[in-house]
Amino acid sequence: MDSSDFLTFLQRRSSVREYDGTAPGEDCIAFILQCARTAPSAGNREGWDVVIVTDPSLREGLSEAAFEQRHVGEAPAVLVVCANYIRSMSQYGERGILYAVQDATIAATFMMLAAHAAGLQTCWTGAFDEDAVRELLALPQHVRPVALLTVGYGTLPAVRTGRMPVADHVHRETWL
Ligand SMILES: Cc1cc2nc3c(=O)[nH]c(=O)nc-3n(C[C@H](O)[C@H](O)[C@H](O)COP(=O)(O)O)c2cc1C
């Protein structure tokens, strides 16, 4: 893959919120996890975990926790990507809180792109009640759910979203 292929690959990913119900195979899930494992992490502490949720009643519970977002209940799999504070804080103290969130975010990004590479569609879902997710999935206190990544096979053509011009993001040397 050359650099322009890589850009095309990224441009072809879009959030998808309608799924046909076909569950991703175990081989696809294993591929996604192998890709996530390659992500960088602060001090290589790998301050992330993931709960793979396929059980319909748990998915429904996640949908409720996500303020009734329908795609969360309808996706055949939801990867609940979590920051693991203990893993990062054991090396970095208070700074480890931020690092664990960053580690989890990078791992979730790799999972999203891995799913895309495997022909699956995803929707990164960040609007949810953390305590409700924590209770539903029996997450310990040192684990913070960061993203619900819904995964499945989309039924509709992807809708491409626009972006700001790159120049609107970029500052050179200083902010000024
Ligand atoms: C941090 C974050 C939180 C998001 N939360 C939600 C969400 O709660 N529900 C949802 O439907 N999409 C959510 N999205 C998906 C965005 O709406 C989507 O990425 C954005 O509109 C750009 O569209 P695209 O992914 O198709 O390129 C979230 C994305 C990110 C990165």
- pLDDT of 71 reads 98
Q: Indicate whether residue 123 lines ligand 1 (CB < 6 A).
A: yes
Give which of 49, 41, 33 is closest to 96, Cα–Cα: 41
What number is the average pLDDT over the span 136-164? 95
Q: Indicate whether residue 12 lines ligand 1 (CB < 6 A).
A: no
Percent of the chain scoring above 90 in pLDDT: 97
Q: Specify the residue with its C-alpha closest to ligand 1, atom 29.
A: 124
Check if the beta carbon of residue 88 is closer than 8 Å to that of residue 45. Answer: yes
- pLDDT tens figures, 128-142: 999 999 999 999 999
- pLDDT of 21 reads 87
- pLDDT of 10 reads 97
Distance from C-alpha of 19 to C-alpha of 59, rounded to nearest angstrom: 14
- pLDDT of 159 reads 86
User: Ligand 1 centre and the CA of 37: distance in Å?
Assistant: 23
Q: Indicate whether residue 127 lines ligand 1 (CB < 6 A).
A: yes
- pLDDT of 156 reads 85
Average per-residue pLDDT for the chain? 97
What number is the average pLDDT over the span 104-126? 98
User: Ligand 1 centre and the CA of 173: distance in Å?
Assistant: 30
Distance from C-alpha of 115 to C-alpha of 81, rounded to nearest angstrom: 14
pLDDT at 157 over 90: no
119: tokens are: 């022909």
Q: Indicate whether residue 117 lines ligand 1 (CB < 6 A).
A: no
DSSP codes of every residue in 17-37? --B--PPPPHHHHHHHHHHHH
Classify domain 24-154 by CATH number. Answer: 3.40.109.10
Residue 41 pLDDT level (bands cut at 50, 70, 90): very high
What number is the average pLDDT over the span 95-109? 98
- pLDDT of 46 reads 98
